[in-house]
Structure 1
Amino acid sequence: MNTAHRITDRAAYQAELDALRIREKAHTHEGDAIAAARRRLPMVEVDAAAKLIGPDGPVTLLETFEGRRQLIAYYQMWHTGHPAAEQCEGCTFFNSQVRELSYLHVRDITYATFCQGPYEESVRYRDFMGWDVPWYSAAESIDVLMAGRGRFMLACYLRQGDRVFETYWTTGRGVEVMDQTYGLLDRTVYGRQEPWEDSPAGWPRADNIARTNGRPTAQWPRLEAGRSDDLASGR
């Protein structure tokens, strides 16, 4: 047994957990305060007519709201012409965890993936993965919509009539809001097991959770289930 694992009785264990809980609650309250500040940010108008490609062909950014007041869009990275095994493991990790959309819909919010690559090729990836979120190619309008920001991005929009406004965006670790895996791992004794973490000496470390044996990790169960990962047109 690793000596960093101290063993105590339940009373001593609970006393230390109670002290940590004070910090956890403070963290939660600070998160609430940050969210309140986020709701008060100014917004910037974006081109409501920006062109995207969906299942029925060209659509506008405005149309991707599906009539709802707000839109959350995740900008999936794409390596055009590359096989499924070489597609972005980070985007696959985050996008694969946004599944039940009814709770967003009841708040008048649409969630959609805006892929940075061509529609026909990338939607085959969505289908291979078994995702059912609305999927669009934003390739033709990527310079307008992403405006030079991060390689992958999560953005929030507000519709007022026929006008569209961007109200928030984030990238990097900001997109962790999309997943529950890291949150659950953070509650375990070994954490995420990533090199940057502050853990006791001797704690296990692991390779990138999002890629396993040369593929985005979540692809393996799909292949084992017999799904085809062929993204080529007409095959």
Structure 2
Amino acid sequence: MNTDTSTPAPRVADRATYQAEMDALRIREKAHTHEGDAIAAARRRLPMVEVDAAAELTGPNGRTTLLEAFEGRRQLIAYFQMWHTGQSAAEQCEGCTFFNSQVRELSYLHARDVTYATFCQGPYEESVRYRDFMGWDVPWYSVTESIEALMAGRGPFMLACYVRQDDRVFETYWTTGRGVEVMDQTLGLLDRTVYGRQEPWEDSPAGWPQDPDHATWRTDGRPTAQWSRLRAGRSDDLGVVERTS
């Protein structure tokens, strides 16, 4: 247990003073929520662009198509996971691991006629071993044959939304960078804590702890979430040939 009292902390106030400042902040939080609602409404009014429904994917049953990835539902959300082909599990993208680790319960999306899938930018047999090592059970496809058609120069990672009309598929929204934070609850929860994400770009009081090495996502040379899998005895062998110097 950390009992260090030398780290700066907020000033101490009585309950009434604390609550008065909370009430003032809540007004701003509600305005932020309402603006988010307005932005979501604008998303629903965007035009859409047709994409090739026959774009080739590779899944657990071999070659398939973008249309088949809908699993018969009306909409599809796909996360385009970065992949370092031929490299070990330890060398895979910590950011993609961080975000994709947090999309787990899909039944609520399915109840809205929405499928979620990971579209990995690397080969299927190699990358699906990573999914299994991490214990993820989301639908997993390789899009190596269709990256140019589907990503169209965007990325390096991307979250995209699609809708189908019979056998035609349309892209309705995409985002990258901090836009993919919608997949995660960790950062949102950290934003509610007194020390926040502890990233140098944050506007924090002087002396607040910071993590310039971004250790939340990578610890001791690996994406952080890998360590619990290794302790559980899972193999991180991706079937790649180890490189020698």
TM-score range, shorter chain: over 0.9
Equivalent residue runs for 1:171-210 within 5 Å: 171-206=176-211, 207-208=213-214, 209-210=216-217
**Same amino acid, percent of matched pairs:** 84
State the 1:5 CA deviation: 1.7
**Native 8 Å contact 2:67 2:169 kept in 1:** yes
Partner of 1:224: 231
Aligned length: 234
- Corresponding residue number in structure 2 for 1:81: 86
Q: Which residue of 1 aligns with 2:163?
A: 158
TM-score (normalised: structure 1)? 0.98
CA contact (8 A) 2:119 2:142 kept: yes
In structure 1, the gaps of 5 or more residues are none
2:160 pairs with 1:137: no
The SS at the match of 1:29 is helix
User: Structure 1, residues 74-128: CA drift from partner, whole Å, max 9, x if none?
Assistant: 0000000000000000000000000000000000000000000000000000000
Shift of 1:25: 0.1
Residues 148-176 of structure 1 show CA distances to partners (whole Å, capped at 9, x for unaligned) of: 00100000000000000000000000000
Query: 1:4, 1:200 within 8 Å by CA — same for their partners in 2?
Result: no
Equivalent residues of 2:87, 2:240 under 8 A apart: no
> Cα distance 1:3–1:46, how it changes in 2: closer, same or farther (>3 A)?
closer
Alpha-carbon distance in 1 for matches of 2:131, 2:72? 23
Give, in whole Å, the separation in 1 of the partners of 2:61 and 2:205: 54
| TM-score, normalised via structure 2 length | 0.94
Q: Which residue of 2 aligns with 1:58?
A: 63
Q: 2-side partners of 1:233 and 1:203: how far apart?
A: 42
Q: Is the 8 A contact 1:120 1:233 kept in 2?
A: no
Cα distance, 1:4 vs. partner? 5.3
Does residue 12 in structure 1 map to residue 17 in structure 2? yes
Q: Distance in 2 between matches of 1:113 and 1:65?
A: 12
User: Is the partner of 2:145 in helix, strand or coil?
Assistant: helix
Q: How does 1:16-55 map to 2 (within 5 A)?
A: 16-55=21-60
- What is the CA-CA distance between 1:233 and the residue it aligns to? 6.2
Residues 227 and 4 of structure 1: CA distance in aligned 2, closer, same or farther (over 3 Å): closer
